[in-house]
Amino acid sequence: MKIHEWLEHRELNGTSPRFQHDLIVTPENVRNLQHTNTLIGHDGCVNTLSWNKPGRLLVSGSDDQHIIIWEEAGRLRHKFQTAHTNNIFSVQFLPCGNDRLLVSCAGDYAVLLHDYEYSSRKNEPSATYKWECGGRVKRLVTSYNDPYLFWSASEDAVIKQYDVRDNNSTHLIKASHPPHQFKSLALNENRPEMMAIAMNDSTVPIYDRRNLKEPILKLCTAYFTFSNESERRRIARSISVTHVAFNNRGDEIIVNIGGDSVYIYNVLIGNQHNPDLLQGIEDFLSHVELNLPSTSEEAENREKEKPIAEKFRDERNTAKELFNDKKYNEAIDIYSKCIYSSEQLIRKRKSLLTQEEAAELSLLLSNRAICLLQRAWEGDIMESIRDNIRSLEFDPENKKAHYRLAKSLVALKQYNWAKRVYELYLRRYPGDLSLDSVGKVLQKGKEPKKEWTHELVDQYRDSQERFCGHSNMNTDIKEANWFGGRDQYIVGGSDCGSLFLWERSTGCVIGLWKADDHILNCVQPHPSRCLIATSGIDSVVRLWEPARFSTYVPAEVGEPSERDRRDSIYETMFQNQQRAIRMQDLMHNSEVFQALLATIGMQMDTNNNDQGNGEDRSQGGSGEGSGGQPIRCRQS
């Protein structure tokens, strides 16, 4: 948006927090983000952070069962001990409380209401009111549309609604399948009837609070809906949605899947918002011209006559060298930036693609597809299929995209679809032996347990964007959130302790900071400033903002330069992937894994329950402490 457009927007709409956020979360400020403050006050893992609506106050809750209210600049305003007897998982300001009323939940199955100005004057555990739940309560949410209400998600698979006017609580949703545990939830501020639930499954149901009988949408990326991985492998990956959050406009939601990646879904009602990859394959297969018989000479002539634009030739050559060196992450980022730049040029011109532009965009997409296929991280095969389908939409005669689509479908064990794509390839390019290996696999391939069908696809809303490189294996409260007035960035925590910042337009990791010395869980952007609060296993809260906005000198030795990890982005991504592989291999070997669990259990017994597990994904019980003592998170 240009300066005169900003001025017009300010004159007509005022300076809302979102407008301010858009002005201040700029590429330059994001590049200059660094550690600017360390908030010291807790004596245990800090499992929850939340700003009040104006952003003047930050509240934190910890394994030490204390709640602290911090001022925006980092000064401790209030600290008090709650009546919780286990790790605190979520704390929120109540909209009706004029920033005095708080609600909290914990692993002791309890939800508490606090007047913190009163509580902070007492020297004993306190709460204004207490509600009981049937399992560990993992998340609370509030809504400024309903200032007297709030909601909880607990591991007994129950969503409750609370009304502080009469202290009444109501069961809203109860999962029908006992294995399900609710891990988090989110309300859409722009459509307050819309509620999303995170649970120990790859699916995120979205309900209309006016009619809770059935979800109005079921979100699940296509990779999971028909995945043919074994049940043991699926368990080993420990699939669980750890966080969900609607964007500023209320038309999209971010989903952080444990054991996998961060995904974005469109939540507007209607099939037109569902990316239909299967229909894209069918459209390609039914293309009339492609099904006409062709001689090898005609096919070769078409390849020679195809115009190719020169705009991104240098970038393509660089990416090709990286691909040959097996530096797939770097190559993928180059192609992603080129694809975005190409699409932006087309949008600005507001006209149809020229033949050269269509051919180059098709080439960029198919080249990124082969990088994804070779990198072979969880979900990469599906993303490769997406790119190849888009490539063929721009240029149905892109031979490499056709070839790579067949290979990707075989890798996904969708042999029936691979066979149809393979047979079309043979008709189009007779005598070409490039797909000979695919043909041999198809001759031996068995029918998949889950076949990609329209009936299966229509049950779920597919994702439209994916962000990866972090690690989300060890805890079930790990957040990923929107950042910027236009949600132009994504921020998230990681098991490696790093704060990840993705550029949404390209999907590239453009920021990486060591935000926790063990595991980073909580990542909460300020509502109107270029400021991020983070916490995890460490007993401190850290603030991150452009250096020129802060006059505070961090209390930690070597700050802030030692926490900047932007020069090791690709190395960190690789290490996180290796960590995930090792974890899956360990859990896949059930005998070794059970022995490890037994060892952990003995260690915990030896320590007289001092080493609880307030947030580890493998813990199913309440883990209640004794004598009100803090229960430390295991630093796994």
Residues 6+ apart with CB under 8 A from 114: 67, 80, 82, 101, 102, 103, 104, 126, 127, 128
Per-residue pLDDT reduced to its tens digit, 451-481: 888 888 889 999 999 999 999 999 999 999 9
Q: What local confidence, expressed as pLDDT, does residue 18 receive?
A: 56
Q: Report which listed range, 19-28, 457-466, 602-611, is most confident.
A: 457-466
Q: What burial letters (b/e) apply to 470-505, b meaning 16+ CB within 10 Å? A: bbbbbbbbbbbbbbbbebbbbbbbbbbbbbbbbbbb
* Residue that terminates a domain, selected from 457, 480, 515: 457
In a shared domain, residues 394 and 448: yes
C-alpha–C-alpha distance, residues 550 and 540, integer Å:
19
558-585 pLDDT, tens per residue?
566 678 898 999 999 999 999 888 877 7
621 pLDDT above the threshold of 50: no
The verdict on residue 184 lying in a domain is yes
Are residues 14 and 132 both part of a single domain?
A: yes
Render pLDDT for 103-140 as a digit per residue (tens, 0 to 9). Answer: 999 999 999 999 987 766 666 777 889 999 999 999 99
pLDDT of residue 120: 61
What is the domain range of residue 348?
Answer: 277-457
Do 410 and 534 belong together in one domain? no
d(CA 335, CA 341): 10
Query: Are 247 and 314 in a shared domain?
Result: no
**Same-domain check for residues 474 and 417:** no
Residue 606 lies in a domain: no
Judged against a pLDDT cut of 50, whether residue 602 lies above it is answered with: no
Task: Tell me: do 312 and 423 sit in the same domain.
Answer: yes
Per-residue pLDDT of 196-237, as tens digits, reads 999 999 999 999 999 999 999 999 998 887 765 554 455 545
pLDDT at 617 over 60: no
Within-domain flag for 348? yes
Percent of the chain with pLDDT over 70: 79
More confidently predicted of 592 and 484: 484
Among residues 539, 572, 605, the one where a domain terminates is 572
Residues 366/387, Cβ–Cβ less than 8 Å: yes
DSSP code for 89: E
Q: What integer pLDDT is reported at residue 419 of this predicted model?
A: 93
In a domain, 621, yes or no: no
Contact 552, 74 (CB under 8 A): yes
Cis peptide before 525 (omega within 30 of 0): no
The domain boundary, picked from 435, 457, 479, lies at 457
Question: Do 436 and 563 reside in the same domain of the chain?
Answer: no
Q: Is 360 domain-assigned?
A: yes
**Residue 81 CB partners (closer than 8 Å, separation 6+):** 65, 66, 124, 125, 126
For residue 595, is it within any domain? no
**Higher pLDDT among residues 120 and 523, named by residue:** 523
The answer to whether 467 and 482 have CB atoms below 8 angstroms apart is no
Residue among 511, 514, 509 at smallest CA distance from 498: 514
Does residue 283 share a domain with residue 242?
no
Quick one: pLDDT band at residue 326, thresholds 50, 70, 90?
Answer: very high
Segment 9-27 shows an average pLDDT of 67
Same domain, 225 and 295: no
When divided into structural domains, the chain yields a total of: 2
Q: Above 70 in pLDDT, residue 550?
A: no
User: Can you tell me the distance from the alpha carbon of 631 to that of 636, in angstroms, rounded to the nearest whole number?
Assistant: 15
Q: CA-to-CA distance for 67 and 69, rounded, in angstroms?
A: 7
Residue 493: what residue type? G
Distance of alpha carbon 522 from its chain centroid, rounded?
13
Query: How many residues in the chain?
Result: 636
Query: With bands split at pLDDT 50, 70 and 90, how would you rate the model's confidence at 282?
Result: very high
Q: Is the pLDDT of residue 301 over 60?
A: no
Residues 6+ apart with CB under 8 A from 198: 139, 153, 182, 183, 184, 185, 186, 204, 240, 241, 242, 243, 244, 255
Given a cut of 50, whether residue 611 has pLDDT beyond it is no
Q: Are 125 and 628 in contact (CB under 8 A)?
A: yes
CATH, residue 398: 1.25.40.10
337 within a domain of the structure (yes/no): yes
d(CA 501, CA 30): 9
- In-domain check, residue 627: no
Q: Is the pLDDT of residue 597 over 80?
A: no
Rounded Cα distance, 526 and 179, in Å: 36
Q: What is the spatial distance between Cα 44 and Cα 538, in angstroms, rounded to a whole number?
A: 7
380 has pLDDT over 70: yes
Are residues 430 and 353 part of one domain? yes
- In terms of DSSP bridges, do strands 158-163 and 168-174 run parallel, antiparallel, or are they unpaired? antiparallel
pLDDT (mean) for 259-273: 90
Average pLDDT value over all residues in the chain: 85
Cβ burial of 139 (10 Å; 0-12, 13-18, 19+) is buried
Q: In what order do the strands lie in the sheet with 262-266?
A: 240-246, 252-258, 262-266, 465-467
DSSP assignment of 235-267? HHHT-EEEEEEE-SSSSEEEEEEETS-EEEEE-
Supply the Cα-derived Rg of the chain in whole angstroms.
26
222 and 74 in a common domain: yes
Higher confidence at residue 548 or residue 7? 548
44 and 145 part of one domain = yes
- pLDDT above 90 covers a percentage of the chain that reads 63
* Model confidence pLDDT, tens digit, residues 333-363: 999 999 999 998 878 776 677 888 889 999 9
Q: What is the CATH number of the domain that holds 203?
A: 2.130.10.10
- Distance of alpha carbon 179 from its chain centroid, rounded? 23
pLDDT (average), residues 513-517: 96
